[in-house]
Structure 1
Amino acid sequence: MLSCKQATSLASDYLEDELPFLQRLGMRIHLARCSHCAEFLSGLREANELVYEQAGAAARPDPDFLNRLRSSVSAHLQKDKSMTDPLEPGAEASNEPLIAGVDDPVDERVRRIFDDIREKEGFVPNLFRAYAHQPDVLEYNWAREKSLLYGGILDESFKSAIVVVVSSDNHCDYCVHHHRAALLSSGFSCAEIEMLVSDPENTRFSDREKALLALARQANLDPHRPADLLLARVRAEGASDAEIIEAMSVMELYSSWNKFLDVMRIPLESDVC
């Protein structure tokens, strides 16, 4: 999840299209939700265009000059208290995890669950290593993941798409990374994955799946908003009640995991970074 301070520091690279996929995606989500940063980026873009205009179409200003200009604009705008993220403390928060994962479980039930996870996923994600401190919670969460993501009636790639969209909206890089990788391995391109968040109606999914995705997304972002029209669309596209429940359950599961992962600062596994 990008803070306003991080977003403004990345603004120049964003305008130059030099950010990697996840940072670019994070910027787009942040700008969609933060009018102050969107205004800052607009001002920075106008400053760039003005400099190019003054220099003439044939001459590109010196890159060092541009960087100094951008830094000056950024420093000036960040003096404005309205640019300060009200949820962000004055000091940078630590990135250290708040709970260590269980690497070598003593509990026989935990070892058995870890073996089952490895069989399905190839490794034990740090999320489940954290849950392993409470075997009942680990068993419950793995059972839900196993039944929803590896079972059910909806296509597995579509469910990963729900996870990417919901987790992007919730700023959970951990879940975005894992399910972006799942989509890439299923044949999706980086551009297609980015479009899931920015323009889901123009993705490769069927009209029925697009309707289910829109329902799940609204339920995550604004659960108190009436969903009658979205449900009517979902049913008009031929989705069954079982499919509606399954899509909503994927949203519900990962929405809760997003919060747990971010609050406890569970790190992404080093071997999948």
Structure 2
Amino acid sequence: MTTAQPPVSRFPVPALAEMPDDIRERVEAVQEKSGFVPNVFLVLAHRPDEFRAFFAYHDALMDKPGNLTKAEREMIVVATSNLNQCQYCVVAHGAILRIRAKNKLIADQVAVNYRKADISDSQKAMIDFAVKVSSEAYKVGDSDLQTLNSHGFTEEDAWDIAAISAFFGLSNRLANVTSMRPNDEFYALGR
């Protein structure tokens, strides 16, 4: 006996054919590349203008060149999303982290307790800062930037870490409110 899959969101999810052309084309490109459509694209397509703004900022943060590697950017997402209890982002970005780091264990380690994960001291300092931004941004001060600097991070890196943490705080909250489900495909990626 098979059980029906729960819905991917508690809000309406438009059919692909109902989406504006630019959004449908983006969703189809993601589907072609990954072999499935991550539910975040379907859920956020409910509000097209916000979809466009969300992914424009996402891409500006996560795909830009800089000192932070793509794997380090995903570490920030996984650790702060765990702090925010966002199942979707921990699972989805955990899969991306495993792929980008070429390490099948790292996402689980970072999600559960990054301080004991097999990552560098500088990466732990990076996540310490990201977690502080996520939970107590009002306490961030010059000493935090000095700590990052002592681990080789620049002022621009600090901005990137903070922006990723802040952006995914928004994402985590939307995912939790919409009851966004991680795609089953994410669980096996990079393992």
The two structures share one fold, judged by TM-score above 0.5: yes
- State whether residues 215 and 227 of structure 1, in contact with CA within 8 Å, keep that contact through their aligned partners in structure 2: no
Give the letter for the 1:208 counterpart: S
Aligned to 1:112: 25
**Residue number in structure 2 paired with 1:162:** 76
Q: Contact 2:80–2:169 at 8 Å: present in 1 too?
A: yes
Task: Say whether 1:188 aligns with 2:111.
Answer: no
Q: Indicate the residue corresponding to 1:124 in structure 2.
A: 37
Across the two proteins, how many residue pairs are aligned to each other? 178
Larger Rg: 1
RMSD: 2.4
State the partner residue of 1:216. Answer: 130
1:200 alignment partner, SS class: helix
Cα 1:198–1:111, aligned 2, differ >3 Å: closer, same or farther?
Answer: closer
Q: For residues 270 and 187 of structure 1, do their structure 2 counterparts lie closer, same or farther at Cα, with a shift above 3 Å needed?
A: closer
Which residue does 1:45 correspond to in 2? none
Secondary structure of the 1:223 match is helix
Match of 2:53 in 1: 140
- State whether residues 166 and 255 of structure 1, in contact with CA within 8 Å, keep that contact through their aligned partners in structure 2: yes
1:266 to 159, 176, 180: 180
Q: Residue 195 and residue 133 in structure 1: after superposition, are their counterparts in 2 closer, same or farther (change >3 A)?
A: closer
User: How far, CA to CA, are the matches of 1:241 and 1:105 in structure 2?
Assistant: 44
Q: Which of 160, 163, 170 in structure 2 is aligned with 1:249?
A: 163
Corresponding position of 1:149: 62
What is the alpha-carbon distance in structure 2 between the residues aligned to residue 208 and residue 122 of structure 1?
35
Give how far 1:130 is off. Answer: 1.7
Q: Is the 8 A contact 1:162 1:213 kept in 2?
A: yes
Deviation at 1:261, TM superposition (A): 0.7
Relative contact order: is structure 1 or structure 2 higher (C-alpha 8 Å, sep ≥ 6)?
2
From the superposition, tell whether residues 221 and 136 of structure 1 become closer, same or farther in structure 2 (CA, over 3 Å): same
Deviations 1:69-116 (A, max 9, x none): xxxxxxxxxxxxxxxxxxxxxxxxxx7532132231332122233234
TM, length-normalised to structure 2 = 0.79
Q: Retained in 2: the 8 A contact 1:102–1:133?
A: yes
Equivalent residues of 1:101, 1:126 under 8 A apart: no
The match for 2:91 among 177, 199, 219 is 177
Aligned to 2:3: none
Flag structure 2 segments of 5+ consecutive residues without an equivalent: 1-5
Counterpart contact for 1:201–1:210, Cα < 8 Å: yes
Q: Is the Cα contact below 8 Å between 1:113 and 1:139 reproduced in 2?
A: no
Identity of aligned residues (%): 21
Deviations 1:6-52 (A, max 9, x none): xxxxxxxxxxxxxxxxxxxxxxxxxxxxxxxxxxxxxxxxxxxxxxx
- Amino acid in the other structure paired with 2:102: G
**Structure 1 residues not aligned, in runs of 5+:** 1-94
Q: Give the structure-1-normalised TM-score.
A: 0.58
Give the drift of 1:184. 2.5
CA contact (8 A) 1:101 1:129 kept: yes
Q: Which segment drifts farther, 246-255 or 196-205?
A: 196-205
Take 1:174 and 1:199, find their aligned partners in 2: how far apart are those partners?
18
Shift, 1:197, TM fit = 4.5
CA contact (8 A) 2:133 2:140 kept: no
